[in-house]
Chains A and B, each alone.
Chain A
Amino acid sequence: MSTLSKENVYLADVPVLVSPDGVVDQFETERASRLGQYLRTLRPGLVLAGLFVFLLSIAAIEPAWFISGDPLDANAREAFAPPSSGHLLGTDEIGRDVLTRVIYGSRSSLLMGLGATAIGLGFGIALGLTAGLGPPVIDGLLMRFVDVLLAFPDLLLALVVITFFGQGTVNAILAVGIASVPRYARLVRAQTHLVRGTAYVEAAKTLGIRSSALIWHHVLPNAIKPVLILATIGIGGKIASGASLSFLGFGTLPPAPEWGAMLAVGRDYLENAWWLTAVPGIAITLTVLSVTALGRELLRRSEGKSI
């Protein structure tokens, strides 16, 4: 979420300038060290991030492959058991196994990240392209509207959406997704304008190519590619936002295993059961961290090669 807005600033305002010398240098060094570069990119941190996201995806698809227990299985006699060999990460206030619940919680987190990003991206691209390619009047109106929405923090917008549409898992995804639409719309529009003004689009125009072909072959692919990459970074932010909503009690509701909701419950037992908050907290952080790290790597590579 935060990273995206930062990139937003840069992508929108700074045209990509490449000096002729620099490019040749880059090409030469690039060729010389292509293998080296590839090896260097396999930094341990990134490998771990990739592995983590991979395991997370599998856990989201079929959590039973990792653990045999039931996330809702309560056992009052074992309540507040600290981490031990029986319960690796302890148990919660009614004796449910925390590890099982955390693993089962990955599904709703990933669903939130992907779903909200898809919604935000879908509407954002539609709005941004309409503004970027449409007549100036539409562009002006749409962008003023988007500017107004951008005045509000994402979380505030999400809360407004929830006030009107109600609480629950699906509505939380919807709320987080809708809250991110203005940002994507602005980004897509800025990219579209940037690409429309490039020399290669003008060169194609002087060839006499139809404007529909111009948009389809040159403008769209070049404008949307960086947005997609930024969106992958955004997935992490969406997961965090969704967990925040659940923490506030507006997302996935207990007793379903959800990291934010687990943490909200654990907050009441901070004094005697630290693992109830620490475990889901670390799970969220690691997930967001891994997704963000992978997304950034993607961005770094695409910037290094072409844009």
Chain B
Amino acid sequence: MTLFKRIAWRLLAGVGVLWCTVTLAFVAFHLIGDDPVVTILGGEDAQPSKEMIALVRKEYGLDRPLSVQYAQYLWRAVHGDLGQSYRLHIPVARAISQQLMPTLSLMFSATLVSVFLAVALALLTAKRAPWIRSFSSGVELVISSAPAFVLGTLLLLAFSFQLNWLPSFGTSGWETIVLPTLALALPIVAVLTQVLRQELEDILELPFIVTARARGLSETRVRLGHALRHALIPLLTLSGFIFASLLGGAVIVETLFSRQGIGRLMVEATGNKDVPMVLGITELSALIYVVVNLIVDLLYAVVDPRVKGAV
């Protein structure tokens, strides 16, 4: 019952986030930046005529009062209509849906790889000999300091151009996703491993671990049976960070590896001042964020019996 209530609240909050995002997008669209009509007609340089401007303004509904426009904007957003791309001259929603799958599969594979690697590394290195610790935390620090595009370039240099193992660009075939996944996952692994190891080390000091040892449990059993589940909690707490790294990283990685996807769409839209496209992708990212948060919230209740009820 309380769990149900909590989910209801979270859903409501999620709707709030989406509503705020759409509103902000609307405000940004109308109040900041250039006159959208001029942009649609190719910018100031194109020197559009007054008649043309009036025509476009009417066509896009930009001549109506702001409140009406806002209501229309909201109404359309609810129905998945995010407007017309300036540059591609197709609906933003269609452009996005065409590019969504490659990005989602990249994000998904990177999530799997990073969580698996981070948990494994943390379990293996927590509370071990000092040199193992300092070595792995040194490597983690270096990797987490390298921006995704540096890491990706170095991976390209090594695996595509020196060793010729994997293709350097493209979206088709499983080989093309290996390097982008690594470039996306490694920085996340570096940060997650640090946090998880710290958490594990704290947990391995706790009384219930000593108690478990005093019952005669082996080290493996202590780590897998007791400590692992506790270490999953910070993993969930960091889901926001993971999500942000994945999406932000996708922008870079897709550009670097010339992959199709939302990230590259975003870069192109930014370069061309394609405002509806940029805002559309932003709204999409809010939607993904809300969904991910909801899932994480449910997972919390699964992992930690204490959170049932209390928020």
**Contact of A153 with B145 in the complex, beta carbons under 8 Å:** no
Q: How far is the CB of B99 from chain A (nearest CB, A)?
A: 15
Which stretch in B53-61, B117-125, B266-274 binds the other chain?
B266-274
Please give me the residue from chain B that is nearest to A271 by CB atom: B161
Which residues of chain A are near B278, meaning CB under 8 Å?
A: 159-160, 163
Which residues of chain B are near A150, meaning CB under 8 Å?
A: 240
**Contact of B149 with A156 in the complex, beta carbons under 8 Å:** no
Partner of A244 from the list B147, B266, B274, B290 (CB cut-off 8 Å) is B147
Known contacts A152-B286, A160-B282, A250-B270; decide if A289 and B142 are in contact (CB<8 Å). Answer: yes
**Contact of A278 with B154 in the complex, beta carbons under 8 Å:** yes
**Contact of A151 with B286 in the complex, beta carbons under 8 Å:** yes
A5 adjacent to chain B (CB < 8 Å): yes
Those of B135-192 within 8 Å (CB) of chain A: 138, 141-142, 144-150, 153-154, 156-157, 160-161, 168, 187, 191
**Contact of A284 with B247 in the complex, beta carbons under 8 Å:** no
Which residues of chain A are near B69, meaning CB under 8 Å?
A: none
Please give me the residue from chain B that is nearest to A162 by CB atom: B270
Give the one of A13, A241, A243, A247 with max B CB within 10 A. Answer: A247
Q: How far is the CB of B283 from chain A (nearest CB, A)?
A: 10
Main secondary structure of the interface of B (DSSP, over half): helix
What is the 8 Å Cβ interface bit string for chain A, positions 216-248, against chain B (1 contact, 0 not)?
000000000000000000001000110110011
**Contact of A160 with B161 in the complex, beta carbons under 8 Å:** no
Which residues of chain B are near A266, meaning CB under 8 Å?
A: 153
**Contact of B149 with A244 in the complex, beta carbons under 8 Å:** yes
**Contact of B17 with A164 in the complex, beta carbons under 8 Å:** no
What is the 8 Å Cβ interface bit string for chain A, positions 271-301, against chain B (1 contact, 0 not)?
1001001100100110011001100000000
**Contact of B153 with A155 in the complex, beta carbons under 8 Å:** no
**Contact of A148 with B17 in the complex, beta carbons under 8 Å:** yes
Which residues of chain B are near A147, meaning CB under 8 Å?
A: 17
Q: How far is the CB of B231 from chain A (nearest CB, A)?
A: 14
Q: How far is the CB of A182 from chain B (nearest CB, A)?
A: 11
Residues of A at the B interface (CB closer than 8 Å) are: 2-3, 5-6, 9, 13, 45, 144-145, 147-148, 150-156, 159-160, 162-165, 236, 240-241, 243-244, 247-250, 260, 263, 266-267, 270-271, 274, 277-278, 281, 284-285, 288-289, 292-293
Other than the given A2-B241, A152-B282, 7 more pairs (CB < 8 A) read A151-B290, A156-B282, A159-B266, A243-B150, A266-B153, A284-B150, A285-B146
Residues of B at the A interface (CB closer than 8 Å) are: 16-17, 20-21, 24, 28, 32-33, 138, 141-142, 144-150, 153-154, 156-157, 160-161, 168, 187, 191, 194-195, 234, 237-238, 240-241, 243-245, 247-248, 251-252, 255-256, 266-267, 269-271, 273-275, 278-279, 281-282, 285-286, 289-290
